[in-house]
Amino acid sequence: MNRSSSSYFKYFVWLLFPIFGAYLLYPYMMASEQQQQQQQPRQVLPTNVKPNHYDLWLKPHLDTFVFEGRVKVNLDVIESTRVITLNTHEIKILSATLGYDDETLSSADISYDPKKTTASLTFSGTVPAHSQALLDITFEGILNDQMTGFYRSSYKDDQGNTKYLATTQFEPTDARRAFPCWDEPSLKATYDITLAVPTELTALSNMNVIDEEKLKDDEKWKQVKYATTPLMSTYLVAFVVGPFEYIEAFTTGKHNGNPIQTRVYTLPGSSEQGRLALNVAVEALEFFAEQFGEPYPLPKMDMVAIPDFESGAMENWGLVTYRNVYLLFDEKASSIQFKKSTAYVVCHELAHQWFGNLVTMQWWNELYLNEAFATWVGWLAVDHIYPEWDIWTSFVNEDMPRALKLDALRSSHAIEVDVADASEIHQIFDAISYDKGASVIRMLSSWLGVDTFLGGVRRYIQKHKWGNASSNDLWNSLSEEAGMDVAKFMTLWTKHVGYPVLTIQPSGPDSINVTQSRFLSTGDLNAQDEVTTWWVPLHMLCSDGDIKPYILTEPSQTFQIPSDGLFKLNAGQTALYRVHYPQATILRLADQIKQQDQELLGTADRVGLISDVGSLMVSGEQSTTAFLELARSFEHEKEYFVWSQLASHMKSLISAWYEQPKEVMDGLLSVRRELFGPLAERLGWDVRANENDLTNLLRVLAISNAGLSKHEATIQEAKKRFWAYVEGDNEVLHPNLRSTVFNIVLSELTNNNGNDDELTRAWEAVLTIYQDESLSSDQRLMALVALGYTRDAALIERYLAMASDESQVRSQDVIYIYSRLGDSVEGRDRLYKYFVDNFDKLHVKFSKNISMFGNIVQSTVQGYASFDKLKVIKEFFKDKDTKEYARPLQQSLESIHVRAKWVERDSDSVRTWILSQ
């Protein structure tokens, strides 16, 4: 039962909160440094035998939630032995025999080690070294409801009856819950899979069906046999059984040889909502085949929407599984934000079909190879399919800040980090592996040039396909292609924690001194902190538009700047660092922005400038009022991403300041209102014909920020449209704006001391939308989140009660409620009290899935920003056994500390500034 995971999908929670901008909502889990120091040995299986082929038969029972199984494994016997140890988890082995030559050994003893999740089979005799043996095991397991291994997921049929489907989630270490196996990524084998299922259901697996026949002894069952897989790792095996329908398309075959049959499977009635994902998939498969110089390796690609799904999506080879909201998109009814996330998630998972599935990391310490690369190349594919989305600026606005934020904590970890067991592996699916990894790859690819970089990747794939590889193999292929030592540069970034802040000081009339040191958001770097001298590409953008390719390689160096003093480092924001400019330089840049001279500072540069100043105000290198002044230079800004970055930092400021006096809070809201109100008015409420997607996103952002900053006109219009919509006028509220309007209305309405039930009516109307199973999953989810915008105590209690009622909210979605309340000024104390009062009950309920409990702890305390509260929270956890959630807890505490320090340092100057306005 020892299970922990930290799925990355939670970082996408921000999609539901346009006002939060990109990355400020969710803190992260991480491996603490102490833990790295007391590194445990890797928990791996003995190497006396090695599997090379599995013949697997499974029969899941969707009424009793039990599955029967039989697996025959071909083994290379390396050392003579009578004991075979393999992985199992909650599997009951019924029989085991071991055959070699003409001998058959029976099993004399089976012993389980539930902690190590292994079973050891002792046989009646010894199997000699160098023989080929066949291990034949029959077993039984549970179709669990924990969203892991071979599990059940529920749905309602036409009559509203609850029914179940069966599906799998094996990465990283849960194939062992479905069949006894050698569950390590480097032990690749081929698979013949057969599923026995009720005749009316569709059964899918990695490969295409080669045979289907009714069971002789029971006509209600059929047996479906799939083609032999290529060599693959256990974590990529998958099967899905349910009453699915599908839509289908084929790749052109231009880069793939044969056209690839590509399908989206859904429960009955939803398959059309898979159209966007299907179109993206077909294009992405062609794109990747071309870029990787290797056709898609399997004959088909199936993608399935699963109603209960722990993470966001999973790249099982040939059978990718998704959370509904990341696969289904209804052109008429879904919100624009989900178009981008769906396209991206599809591209990310399809990238893994090569990078991860065809070439696999040796061990989980190099998980980042999989995830960082799929993140970078996933966005590369989205950029190819939707060039109008300005994807790399989006990356600078969303992905990079997630990396920079986590890596600015002492408790972050290096990209390459050793992991010993399942729980440690789960915890590195974080912003370091994904976003810092992808940022570092982007930094390298822009340094080498994307074409050269991809040339190196092609070499790597050709050399290691069907096998396993390590970072060094990738650096070697890239070095061969580029003719330079890539490892020397990259290991500085992958083997060391943190990243630098460059402090700029004038050192002459036209030169600056640049000093690097690790950036910490606590702002208190000391002698004990690890010292790294990074190689930093400066990319100095000069006033004449020239970009100087300087590289900083020393702790401190002097560089030439233009004589007019106007420059910006990190042109295009392709490299990973923060810049601390002298105030004079910032003023020069702000002037440039006011003049709307967008020729010089591109969109990504403007985003980067805000991002740097916004983070340095938290750590104390720059003042909060300087940020507020800078923010005002953007009143004429046109680009969505720049506004989004501004909104993120305004939001984090307002939320850290929430205990400040009313006049200060009103002052901060008015700064935001004055920025976003006019923008909202300019854009209006109605989507115009031929408007591009970024303008649509900007409208949502503007209305949301204006409406939640007391912009009266926006609030009135929101209320008007809300009631018209609730009364049945579907046209009055564009799907893009529905959740924003729900949020504004529920946050503005009060129950007027019980004299008016408008709030309750509104809240219940949104609840009804959440409960309407005929609506698209994104709309339902956004309604669920909107319910938490109310400030009313009684309604907050009702909302909290929903979180513990599985008949109302699926356990995969509970985290959205906690996140919302933890982030709400009126919600967080109630949530905290509820959490404290119900601690034991919550722990029993959610700790079966450790990541869930950790996430709940994190969400509950995430919003606080004072030393007093920090003390209270520490006190509460003092006598608890926090082992299972020590990291999310520790990290949340560190974040509270960062914000408390920030408020303590700058609240007076902000107050003075506001009162002087």
Question: Binding site for Zn(2+): which residues?
Answer: 348, 352, 371
Choose the stretch contacting ligand BES; rule: CB under 6 A; options: 70-78, 246-254, 348-356, 877-885: 348-356
Q: What is the largest CA-CA distance in the chain?
A: 93
Selection from ligand BES, Zn ion, none that 294 binds (CB < 5 to 8 A by kind) is: none
| 374 versus 400: smaller Cβ distance to Zn ion | 374
345 binds, among Zn ion, ligand BES, none (CB under 5 to 8 A by kind): ligand BES
Question: Among residues 15 and 19, whose Cβ is nearest to Zn ion?
Answer: 15
Q: Which residues pair with 634 in a beta bridge?
A: none
Query: Does the protein bind Zn ion through residue 391 (CB under 5 A)?
Result: no
Give the number of residues in contact with ligand BES, rule: CB under 6 A: 18
Looking at residues 429 to 448 of the shown chain, list those that interact with ligand BES (rule: CB under 6 A): 429
Shortest distance in whole angstroms from residue 9 CB to Zn ion = 10
CB 670 to ligand BES: min, Å: 37
Q: Which does 521 bind (CB under 5 to 8 A by kind): Zn ion, ligand BES, none?
A: none
From 503, 497, 498, select the one nearest 579 (Cα to Cα).
503
Which residue minimizes CB distance to Zn ion?
Answer: 374
Least distance from Zn ion to the Cβ atom of residue 353, Å: 11
Residue among 820, 749, 764 nearest 788 (CA):
820
- For the packed helices 693-707 and 336-352, what is the interaxial angle rounded to 10 degrees? 120
Cα 817 to the center of its chain, rounded Å: 18
Taking Cα atoms as reference points, which of 196, 172, 202 lies closest to residue 184? 172
DSSP string for 257-309: SSPPEEEEEESTT-GGGGHHHHHHHHHHHHHHHHHHTS--SSSEEEEEEESS-
Distance CA 82, CA 96 (A): 13
Look up residue 607 and give its amino acid.
V
Other CB atoms closer than 10 Å to residue 130's CB: what's the count?
9
Nearer to ligand BES, 521 or 859 (CB): 859
Nearest to ligand BES of 29, 718 (CB atom): 29
Find the part of the chain contacting Zn ion (CB under 5 A) among 12-20, 370-378, 407-415, 725-733: 370-378
Q: Which residues are annotated as a binding site?
A: 348, 352, 371
Q: Which helix (H) or strand (E) holds 861?
A: helix 850-861
Residues 707, 673 contacting (CB under 8 angstroms): no
Q: Decide: 267 and 241 in contact? Cβ < 8 Å.
A: no
Q: Which stretch binds Zn ion (CB under 5 A): 164-172, 258-266, 372-380, 806-814?
A: 372-380
The answer to whether 822 contacts ligand BES (rule: CB under 6 A) is no
Q: Do the beta carbons of residue 312 and residue 329 sit within 8 Å?
A: no
Site string for ligand BES, 126-165 (x = CB under 6 A): ----------------------------------------
359 binds ligand BES (CB under 6 A): no
What is the β-pairing status of strands 49-61 and 66-77? antiparallel
Spatial separation of the C-alpha atoms in residues 868 and 914, rounded to whole Å: 25
Using CA atoms, how far apart are residues 184 and 782, in angstroms rounded to an integer? 38
Q: Are 121 and 84 in contact (CB under 8 A)?
A: yes
Total of residues contacting Zn ion (CB under 5 A): 2
Catalytic residues: 349
Q: What is the pairing mode between strands 162-169 and 149-156?
A: antiparallel
Query: Cβ closer to Zn ion: 371 or 639?
Result: 371
Distance of CA 115 to the CA centre of its chain: 28
Partner whose footprint covers residue 503, from Zn ion, ligand BES, none (CB < 5 to 8 Å by kind)? none
Query: Which lies closer to ligand BES via its Cβ, residue 615 or residue 819?
Result: 819
Binding mask 363-392 for ligand BES (x = CB under 6 A): --------x--x------------------
Q: Is 65 exposed, middle or buried (0-12, 13-18, 19+ CB in 10 A)?
A: middle
Site string for ligand BES, 307-346 (x = CB under 6 A): ----xxxxx-----------------------------x-
State yes or no: residue 425 binds Zn ion (CB under 5 A).
Answer: no
* The only residue of 196, 304, 374, 631 in contact with Zn ion, by rule CB under 5 A: 374
Contacting positions for ligand BES (CB under 6 A): 5, 7-9, 171-172, 311-315, 345, 348-349, 352, 371, 374, 429
Positions touching Zn ion (CB under 5 A) are 371, 374
